[in-house]
Each structure stands twice: as structure tokens, then as C-alpha cells.
Amino acid sequence: MSKKESFIKGTLILAAAALVARVLGLVQRVPLEHLLGDIGDASFSIANSVYLMLLTVATAGIPSTLSKMVSERYALNKPQEARRVYQAALIFAAGAGIVITAVLYFGAPFYAQHIAKTPEAALSIQALAPALLLFPAIAMMRGYFQGRGNMTAGGVSQIVEQFARVGIAILLAYFLLQAGYSDAQVAAGASFGGVFGSIGAFAVMLYYTFKMRRADAEGRISAALSEQLPLLQIYKSIFTLSIPIVLSSLAVPAVNFIDTSIVKILLLDKLGEAAATETLGILGNRAQSIAGIPPILAIALSQSLLPVISAAFARQDRDHLRNQITSALRISILTGMPIVIALCAAAYSVNGLLFSSLNGSGIIAALTFGTIFQITMMTTNSIMIGIGKPNISMISVAAGLIVKLAASWLLATWFGSYGIYGIIAATALCFLTITYLNLRVLKKVVSFSILGGRWVGFILTVLAAGAAGYGANTLVLAAAGASPSRIVFFVACIISGLTVVICYLVLLVLLRVLRRDELGSYPRMMQKVLRPLMRLQPGSSGQRG
């Protein structure tokens, strides 16, 4: 299998796993939104944001570091060193899991009451805390397997984790509700599903570990002799790289953590206690769930990209490095944008189809629109780590988070009673700032062009496809009358989505954003879709931009 095919296969495996995980996550949020009240929604959202923030800190960027270090050592034919690095990472994971679980469990009451201003959330945070005992080790295992080029293990573990987490969460919430427990206690039961998810994921990773050990034992090959690395030397190498990586990886969980921490503080005086709590629940349980769909491919690209770029960088294969960077950025933008457009155009129908009320449709659309910058941010962060510049990526993320905090306070005040939109705008501005700073550095290291002079055509395509999708959604709802049913909302979502995708693809070809001579650089699935459309671009070979 060629390097390109291996990269694409790994990306598709992780994309499929991430898609299943996101869909299951959304499947969980929908029934929970119906089962929980405003306090339960807010409590569940707060617990998840705190948990994800601390999970990132607990693993300290080591999975990404591990993937990089393992792939480099196998590329240099030093498997013994790779295994030694892996063992050191697992030892750290065991200690980190114990410490961070204790911090989360015992610190929950203080955070919920004094920072998030939602005391009821403490129980949900504590219910989720035991999951952190296993997840650092799971993360290390996934990083090691990705460094070995095995994306399947991590993908399957994600799927099993989500099935276990979602199934148990819904069942516990339902039974607790039927038994007459309070809204906060039902939310805690739902949060406890994460513990079962960690157990399922750990079991899968153990299975693949034993499987890989058998394969290694049967297929031993000669390797370069090397001395056994001392643990202190390994940890020094790991943490030198992982500390910048953890700060780079914190961008999304930190933004969500900031939002759940400041939304009520900023909106309490403008909206009142009840409305501010409802808005926090909508942002966390509805908007963030929907907005998590477009970055799926970027997540897969980021995970697949790191070992490929690290190996190319270690071999000083600059041509391969340049091609991978260009392809990753171009594919992430071109494939992420139609999902963003479709969800924004049909946000009202998506909200009506999935949730118990139509409140917050504007919030869903606004947050989802900003995810295109999250996609570019995640992709560029991984590239920066892969080429050995995590320190600069860390600075970019730190600058973005400062922009997020400052802009949230300023824009929430400027937007007045619509302050939540100011907070959302600050999130998009944060991701855009990080992307811009990363791209400035990358262009000095590797010469590349994402779309060249085709940005005008791309922007026109986005605007036209968005208008067509919104118009289709509006026409379907207008034909259904004043009180659309869920079936109508479903039909509106389908028609609007198809309209967006068709208009988007056709206009990309007609406006020469996509060109015939570039088809070979895209995955085969994209080639099959685009090749018939290229008939709309007769006699046009174009130039790469």
C-alpha cells in the first residue's frame, strides 16, 4: 500500500469511527434533553466540559507525543526504543488517572457552586470522575497504535466506548426519572454512563494489544541495536514535547469550559436565573452537540496526519511533507464546509426534529457556523506538532484563548440581551486567531497554497449554497403550515441538505474552485463523485493554486 493510500485509509477509518461516535453522542443528547429539565441540562453540560478539560490535562498531550515518537522510531528501525517509550507512558497514565480523578471528585462542589454558579452540577461531575481512572491509559494505547499505523484499534474502541456510554446513560436517566429522583440526580445518572464507556474502551484496547503482541512475536525482523532508554530520559523527552501539545490540544475543551463557566455570570443580570440556566443548557446540550458534527473529518485528519508528517519530517522528505500538508488543509476545508452550511441553513428544522422545543435555533446556527475555523485550527495544530513546532502552536492557542476571554466579556455586553451570540462570536474569533497564527508560521517552513486565487469562487459558492439550502428549508416549512410535525422537520432537513450539497458541488466545479487536473490528489471516493461533474467544466485543465 502506498503512503498516500495508507494515509487516506487511516483517515477514513478514524473518520468513520468519529462519525459513529458523534452520531451516538447526539443520539444520547436527544433523549436526555427530553428526560432532563433546565437544571439537568445545565448540570450535564457542565460535568462534560469539566471532564473533557481535565481529561486533556490528565493525558498531558502524551498520546500525540507517543504517536510521533513511536512512528519516528519505527521509521528509523528502532522498535525496542518505541516499546520502552510506550511502557513509560503507561506508567504515567496510571498515576495521572488516580490524581486527576481525586481532583475532579473532591473539587466538584467548589467549582459547581462558586464558579459555574450551578450547585446542582456537583453530583454530575462526581458521577463522571471515575471514568478518568482508565481514560489516560486508553489514550496512551490509542497513541501507540496510531504511531504503529494501526488506526482500527482506536476507531473500534471509540465506537464501543460510545455505545456503552450512551446506552447506560439513557437507561440510568430513564429509570431514575421513573423512580422519582430529582433533575440533578437524573443528570448524575446520565453522567455515570461515561464510566461504563471507559471500561468498554479499555477492554477493546487490551484485545488489540494482545493481538499486536502475537503478530510482533511471529514476525520479528532485524532492527538496529540500541541501548535501553532510562525512564527519566524518556519522560524528559515526552514532557518537553507534550506540555506544549497539551496546551495546543486544550483549545476546544478550554473554550467549552470557559463557556460553561462564564455564561451564567455574563447573562444572569440580563436574562435572570431561569433564562440564563436555560441558555446554558441549550448551548451545552443542543448547540455543542450539533456543532460537533462538522469537525469530524478534521479530527480524523489530525490523528492520521501526525504519524505521517512526523515520519516524513524525520526522513527530511520535504516533497512528501508539502503534499500532505496541502492535501490535508484543502480536504478539511472543502469537505467540512458543506456540512457547516447544511446544518446552519436547516438549524430550525434540526432543532425541531431532535429536541423538545424550538428554543435556541439561532444559537445552534451561530455556533455551527464558527466550526469551519475550528476545523482549520485543529488541522494546522496537528501539522505544527508533526513538524516539531508545538511550542509555537502552544503560543497560538494561548493567544486565541486570551482573545476568547476578552471578546466574550466585550461582545456579551455589546450584544445586550442577546449576549449569548457575543459569546459564540468570541469562540469563532478564538479559532480564527489560532488558525491565522499557525498558517503564518507554516508558510515560512513549507511553501504551499490551499486554494490560491480561488477564494472568491469558494466564498461565492458558500453564500449561494447557504441561500439555496435556507430557501429550500423555508419553503418546506411554509407548505406545512403554522405547526410543522417532526416528519415535516425531517423532510425539510433532507431537502435542505441535498440542496446545499448539490449546489455546493456544482458551483465548486463551475467556478473552477475544483479543477479537473487535481482529481488525482483527492481520495478515491471524492474522485468518483467529482469526475461526472467535471463535464460541466469543458476544456479546462486549470492550474494548481
Question: Is the CB of residue 193 less than 8 Å from the CB of residue 166?
Answer: yes
Across the range 146-157, mean pLDDT stands at: 84
For residue 325, which phi and psi values (nearest 5 degrees)?
-65, -45
- Examine the pLDDT at 5 and tell me if it is beyond 80: no
Across the range 7-31, mean pLDDT stands at: 68
Of 48-52, 207-211, 305-309, minimum mean pLDDT range: 305-309
Q: How confident is the model at residue 18 (pLDDT cuts 50, 70, 90)?
A: low
Please give the residue range of the domain that contains residue 202: 3-450
Q: How confident is the model at residue 285 (pLDDT cuts 50, 70, 90)?
A: confident
Q: What is the pLDDT of residues 52-84, one digit of tens each?
A: 787 777 665 677 778 888 888 888 788 888 888
Question: Is the CB of residue 431 less than 8 Å from the CB of residue 370?
Answer: yes
- Examine the pLDDT at 11 and tell me if it is beyond 80: no
- The whole-angstrom separation of Cα 494 and Cα 64 is 37
Q: What is the pLDDT of residues 359-382, one digit of tens each?
A: 899 999 999 999 999 999 988 888
Q: Are residues 274 and 287 in the same domain?
A: yes
Q: Are residues 470 and 442 in the same domain?
A: no
> Which of 400, 416, 450 represents a domain boundary (last residue)?
450
3 state SS of 367: helix
What is the per-residue pLDDT for 71?
85
- The whole-angstrom separation of Cα 149 and Cα 304 is 8
What is the per-residue pLDDT for 541?
47
Q: Are residues 220 and 261 in the same domain?
A: yes
How long is the chain? 545
- Examine the pLDDT at 2 and tell me if it is beyond 50: no
Q: Whose CA is closest to 202, among 105, 126, 130, 136? A: 136
Q: When comparing pLDDT for 180 and 219, which is higher?
A: 180
- The whole-angstrom separation of Cα 502 and Cα 373 is 23
3 state SS of 308: helix
- The whole-angstrom separation of Cα 450 and Cα 545 is 7
- Name the domain count of the chain: 2
pTM of the model: 0.75
Q: Are residues 360 and 413 in the same domain?
A: yes
Question: Is the CB of residue 29 less than 8 Å from the CB of residue 166?
Answer: no
Q: What is the pLDDT of residues 96-138, one digit of tens each?
A: 899 989 999 999 999 999 888 889 999 999 999 999 999 889 9
Q: Whose CA is closest to 67, among 429, 390, 478, 523? A: 390
Q: Are residues 428 and 544 in the same domain?
A: no
Q: Are residues 440 and 502 in the same domain?
A: no
Q: Are residues 463 and 388 in the same domain?
A: no
Across the range 252-274, mean pLDDT stands at: 89
| Other C-beta atoms lying within 10 Å of the C-beta of residue 435 | 23
Q: Are residues 102 and 139 in the same domain?
A: yes
Q: Whose CA is closest to 496, among 517, 526, 468, 463? A: 468
The grid coordinates listed for 284 are: 451545552
> Which of 384, 418, 450 represents a domain boundary (last residue)?
450
What is the per-residue pLDDT for 493?
96
What is the per-residue pLDDT for 432?
96
Q: What is the pLDDT of residues 316-365, one digit of tens each?
A: 777 777 777 877 788 888 888 999 999 999 999 999 998 888 889 999 99
Q: Are residues 334 and 475 in the same domain?
A: no
Q: Are residues 423 and 496 in the same domain?
A: no
Question: Is the CB of residue 68 less than 8 Å from the CB of residue 306?
Answer: yes
Q: Are residues 485 and 444 in the same domain?
A: no
What is the per-residue pLDDT for 371?
94
Q: What CA–CA distances, in Å, run from 99 to 62, 63, 220, 245?
A: 16, 18, 38, 20
3 state SS of 316: coil
Across the range 40-55, mean pLDDT stands at: 85
Q: Are residues 396 and 527 in the same domain?
A: no
> Which of 450, 485, 512 represents a domain boundary (last residue)?
450
Q: Whose CA is closest to 197, among 205, 186, 185? A: 205
